[in-house]
Structure 1
Amino acid sequence: MITYKKCTEVDLDIIYKAFQVGFSDYMIKLDMSQEVFIKRFFGPEGNELKHSFIALDEERPIGVILGGIKVYEGVKTLRCGTLCIHPDYRGHGISKSLFALHKETGVENGCKQLFLEVIVGNDRAIQLYKGLGYEKIYDLSYFSHSEPSSISTNLGTAYTIKEMDTETIGLLQPYIEDIHINWQNDFDYIKKLEGVNHYGVYGDTGLIGTMSAHTNGKIYFLWIHPAHRSKGIGKTLLSHVANLSNPAELNISFPNNASLEGFLKHLGFKRDKISQYEMYLTPIK
């Protein structure tokens, strides 16, 4: 008999087992320890046990949906942080039952929209989400540069690069309110990560550009004041990060930004094979 429970009612190792088996045949290998799973999915990803549900066949974990709530771009949002079903139990309505509980959680907590990301090519999942009322709103692209040391420039003495703290970079929020930033790159997500450093470029008029990057080369945020673009400031920040941590490659992801895409391609970044859709269900009732 299949039953559904809130994740607060089961041990974390049961949730982890559901995650493991649900993604055992996934198109991208998700091989992580229970410690890493908990730290990531209930850390920066923003999922909470009280907003997540698990499906059980007797005592056997066969599916899980993780959820997290926050005010995202001014709208109280419930995000599906992951959904996975045991391969032997797919096609029996378990995903829809988990999503019914997920949606009910959103309604009970006054959320105005549901949100998720899905990998392009995962047609079965995409059709499920469309059937549940989700619509694709943004395309999320991934780019990488395999030779970071080749990105070099020198702005001269008119500009200074300084390390910033999380609070200072968060003050930029009013300047980027008209720019859509994906969930895993926004300030709320970044401040929960370890190993991420923030850098600012200062000129005569003050702060004119910033970057947040992990020591492994993952770039989470890159912004240049519109009045100072096309002057090599973005390139300088990338070069600065590459020289400091010497990563094997640089990686960046972002939704629907033709200007940023053109800039990266000019520097030698290549589009990765993986891409995602950002899908929304709004309003929810």
Structure 2
Amino acid sequence: METNLKNSIELEKINFFRCSEVDIDLAFQAFSIGFSDYMVKFEYSKEQFVNVFFGAEGNKLEHSFVAIHENEAVGVILGGIKTYENIKTMRCGTLAISPDYRGVGVSQKLIELHKEEAVKNGCKQLFLEVIVGNDRAINFYKKLGYEKIYDLSYFSKSDLTNLQQLQRQANAEINKVDFHHFKETFNKWDFHINWQNDIDYLEKLTNFSYYLAKVNNENIGALAINANGRISFLMVDKAYRHQKIATNLLQYAATELNLKAISTSIPNNNSLEGFMNKLEFKREKIAQYEMYKLI
């Protein structure tokens, strides 16, 4: 049945539009059907879809494209542009194709439009994340010239008892601060951080709290964490590591925010991963690759 349907589909009869040129319902429909059989279930309402993907994620309707066949939305690619690690970057926020329309060229055409949009806007690289184990997608991106650069791992801790019982480091002063003061400290370090934890992403969110650790009047540690315990940023200056500064930041935030659990994502950071293991965080089964293509 699927083979017969595929054989009857002609790519020339599929129309492609900017998402800004059509009703956003079509982008949502393509997203929903495209991820209906995905290894990770997405059960977003249209409002949630808009808020998540066109909010802090940074996708824009004018940089996104939808495929339509006989008035049915059959594919969508979302695009967002920003300066990421000092390079103007086009990120693929999602690529979703209806199961009945895979293998006929829809994804290739959407990626082509995505790249053309990036070039038109002066971007120098393309970027995306893909779930580890989604071999079909990974191989598709590799054939297009994308390279896996970073692994993105996820950790969580549901019992904070042992965290609260650890001894506090007395010479580190910890204070809650506003975003502006957090950003000043954030910008003094050179590091790789994933797109969803980057400073531009955080600036668009409203449910985060920010903490700085200070020693001798110098900010040497920083934490960004939301009301549900999701860590977007945790860093301690190299000269002050292994002194429980990061632990103290988490202890302070967990107490003040009355957290019941903590979670985070980490791209290729052996030091931070070792810290998570020491505090008995659980590594989640899901993981991602960050893939790049220079243009």
Shorter-normalised TM range: over 0.9
Q: Please give the TM-score of this superposition, normalised by the length of structure 1.
A: 0.96
Which of 34, 43, 46 in structure 2 is aligned with 1:34?
A: 46
Give unpaired runs (5+ residues) of structure 2.
Answer: 1-12
User: Please, which moves more after superposition, 150-159 or 14-23?
Assistant: 150-159
Match of 2:188 in 1: 175
For 1:232 and 1:137, how far apart are their aligned partners in 2? 30
Residue in 1 that maps onto 2:252: 240
- Kept after mapping to 2: 8 A contact 1:8/1:49: yes
Q: Counterpart of 2:137?
A: 125
Matched, 1:16 2:10: no
> Would the aligned equivalents of 2:213 and 2:222 in 1 still touch at CA under 8 Å?
yes
Cα distance between partner residues in 2 of 1:281 and 1:196 = 32
Contact in 2 for aligned 1:149/1:243 (Cα 8 Å): no
> In the aligned structure 1, how far is the partner of 2:140 from the partner of 2:160?
40
Aligned-partner SS, 1:172: helix
Q: RMSD across aligned C-alpha pairs, in angstroms?
A: 1.2
Q: Relative to structure 2, which stretch is displaced further, 231-240 or 244-253?
A: 244-253
Q: Name the CA distance, whole Å, in 2 between partners of 1:117 and 1:273.
A: 16
* CA deviation vs aligned residue, 1:179-208 (integer Å, no higher than 9, x gap): 111101111011111211101112223212
Residue 157 of structure 1 and its aligned partner are, at CA, apart by: 4.7
Q: Which moved more, 1:237-246 or 1:80-89?
A: 237-246
Query: In the aligned structure 2, how far is the partner of 1:156 from the partner of 1:255?
Result: 27
Q: 1:150 & 1:42 partners in 2: Cα distance?
A: 38
Corresponding residue number in structure 2 for 1:158:
171
Question: 2:126 aligned with 1:114, yes or no?
Answer: yes
Aligned to 1:49: 61
Distance 2:35 2:272 in 1: 32
Does the aligned pair in 1 maintain the 2:33–2:97 contact within 8 Å?
A: yes
Structure 1: how far apart are the matches of 2:46 and 2:161?
35
Contact map agreement 2:75 2:96 (CA 8 A) in 1: yes
Q: Which amino acid aligns with 1:236?
A: N
**Pairs within 5 Å for 1:76-87:** 76-87=88-99
Answer yes or no: is 1:266 the counterpart of 2:278.
Answer: yes
1:20 to partner: Cα distance? 0.7
Percent identity, aligned pairs only?
A: 51
Which of 128, 133, 140 is the aligned partner of 2:152? 140
Map Cα deviations across residues 45-86 of structure 1 (whole Å, 9 max, x no partner): 000011000000021000000000000000000000000001
Q: Does 1:66 align with 2:64?
A: no
Contact 1:149 1:246 in 2 (8 A): no
- What is the rounded CA distance, in whole Å, between the counterparts of 1:156 and 1:31 in structure 2? 43
Is the contact between residue 27 and residue 73 of structure 2 (CA under 8 Å) also seen in structure 1? Answer: yes
Shift of 1:173: 4.2
Aligned equivalents of 2:67, 2:169: Cα separation in 1: 60
5+ long unaligned stretches in structure 1 = none
Partner of 1:251: 263
CA distance in 2, matches of 1:239, 1:193: 23
Matched, 1:6 2:9: no
Quote how far apart the aligned CAs of 1:161 are: 1.7
In 1, distance between residues paired with 2:119 and 2:220? 41
Output the CA distance in 2 between the equivalents of 1:24 and 1:39.
20
| Residues 17-50 of structure 1: CA deviation (Å, up to 9, x unaligned) | 1111111111011111111111110111000011
Shift of 1:155: 3.1
The 1:162/1:110 distance shift into structure 2, 3 A limit, reads same
The Cα shift of 1:231 comes to 0.7
Q: Where do residues 205-244 of structure 1 align in structure 2 (5 Å cutoff)?
A: 205-244=217-256
- For 2:178, the aligned partner's letter is D
Contact 1:70 1:76 in 2 (8 A): yes
The match for 1:95 is 107
Question: Any idea what the Cα deviations from partners look like across 1:207-253, whole Å, max 9, x if unmatched?
Answer: 12110001101000001111111111111111222222333321111
**Could you tell me how far apart the structure 1 residues matched to 2:172 and 2:63 are?**
47
SS of structure 2 residue aligned to 1:14: helix
